[in-house]
Structure 1
Amino acid sequence: MATFSGVTRQHILQSIAEYDTRGRDDFLGVYGFTANDDYAIVHGGTSYDLPAVLGVAHRFGTGRLAPAHEITASLAAAVTLVRKRGFEVTEPTAAVRSAARSSARAKAASRATTPRATSTRRSTAAPERVAAICPTCSTTLPGTGICDYCG
C-alpha cells in the first residue's frame, strides 16, 4: 500500500511539468493510468488528472510509481493531501457522483447491447518505458536494478 506522506509540493510540480511536456494521452499511457475527469488538480488554470499526477509524484518522492487502484481506493485522503500541499482540487458533489454512477451503469448497459465502432486513430509509437530510479539518490538504475552509488 502506497503512503503519500513523502510526496511534497515539489514532487507534484515535477509531475505536472512532465504531464505538460508529454501531453495528457502520452502521460497516462506511459504510466498506465486511465483518464479520470471526476477528480482534478487545478494549477495555472489547467486541470490535471489527480490519480495520475499523484501516482507519478509518488514515484518522484519514493522511487516507486503508486498504482491507480491504490490512489482511487483512498481518494478522500489523496484530495486532502494535495490540498495540504497548496493545490486546488475539483471533485464531484455527492449528487453529481450518484448521477455519474447511474450514467456509467447506463453506458455500460448500452455498450453491452450496441456494437462497438472501430477507432480510426492509431498510435505509431509504443509508449516509452519508465526507467526505475533509486529511492535514495534518485538516479536511474542500471539493468541490474542495484544502484551503482548506494549499492
Structure 2
Amino acid sequence: MTAVGRPSGGGYPRGVATLSAVTRPHLLTAIAEYDDRGKEAFIGVYGLQPSTTEELVHEGRSYDAAVVVGVAHRYATGRVATSDELGKQADGVAALLRKHGFEVTPPQGAARTPARVTKPRATAPRTPRATTPRVSRSSADERPPVICPTCFTQLPATGTCDNCA
C-alpha cells in the first residue's frame, strides 16, 4: 500500500468504481451520446446491463440511470464502470445523479417510456444542407475513443495526451 491507502499497482482494485470522479459535464456528455446512438445501440456498445431500479429524467426524457453513470465514469476515468460495480454501490448511482441536479425515478413498470418519444427539445429551425449518405456501421465494430482523464480530450493513437504530457 502507498501512503494514501491505494494499492501500489496504480489505481483502484477491480470491482470498485469511483463515482466521485464523475461530474455533471461527464453525465451530460453520456446523455448526449445516449441520444445520438439510441438506447439499444448505446447499451450494446458498452456491454452494460439495463437497470431495473431507477431511471434518470432529463429534459422530459427518461434514460437508464446505471448505464448513463457507467459511461460517464468512462469520460471521467477512461474506464466504463460495469453493471456489477455499479450494483455494489448501495444507492450510489441515484445519489450521484441527485447530487449533480438530476431527477431519478423508479422505472415505470414493464412498459418503460422510450427516451425518444417524450417531450422534444426546442431547437432552432435547421437550414437544408447537402448531405452525404450515412454508412451504417454495426455498434459491435465500434470502439469508444480513449479519453484523457485530466483534460478530457481524445487521446491520439500513441496513448499519451499531447496537452498533458
Q: Same fold (TM over 0.5)?
A: yes
Does the alignment pair 1:125 with 2:138?
yes
4+ residue segments displaced more than 6 Å: none
Secondary structure in 2 aligned to 1:38?
A: coil
Alignment of 1:1-151 (within 5 A): 1-91=16-106, 125-127=138-140, 128-151=142-165
Measure the CA separation in 2 of the matches of 1:142 and 1:9.
25
**Does structure 2 retain, via aligned residues, the 8 Å contact 1:7–1:61?**
yes
Taking a change above 3 Å as real, the CA distance of residues 124 and 5 of structure 1, as seen in their structure-2 partners, is closer
Measure the CA separation in 1 of the matches of 2:42 and 2:69.
12
Secondary structure in 2 aligned to 1:5?
A: helix
Structure with a larger share of its residues in helix: 1
Deviation at 1:138, TM superposition (A): 1.9
**Does structure 2 retain, via aligned residues, the 8 Å contact 1:64–1:135?**
no
1:106 matched residue in structure 2: none
Residue correspondences, number: 122
Taking a change above 3 Å as real, the CA distance of residues 83 and 126 of structure 1, as seen in their structure-2 partners, is closer
Measure the CA separation in 2 of the matches of 1:145 and 1:26.
26
Measure the CA separation in 1 of the matches of 2:90 and 2:70.
12
**Does structure 2 retain, via aligned residues, the 8 Å contact 1:40–1:90?**
yes
Deviations 1:44-65 (A, max 9, x none): 2211111110011112222222
TM-score normalised according to structure 2 size? 0.65
**Does structure 2 retain, via aligned residues, the 8 Å contact 1:71–1:78?**
yes
Q: Which amino acid aligns with 2:55?
A: A
Deviation at 1:140, TM superposition (A): 2.0
Secondary structure in 1 aligned to 2:91?
A: helix
Q: Which amino acid aligns with 2:69?
A: L
Deviations 1:95-135 (A, max 9, x none): x9xxxxxxxxxxxxxxxxxxxxxxxxxx9724321121111
Q: Gapped runs of 5+ residues in structure 2?
A: 1-15, 110-135
- Greater shift in the superposed pair: 16-25 or 35-44: 35-44
Identical residues among aligned pairs (%) = 51
Q: Gapped runs of 5+ residues in structure 1?
A: 97-122
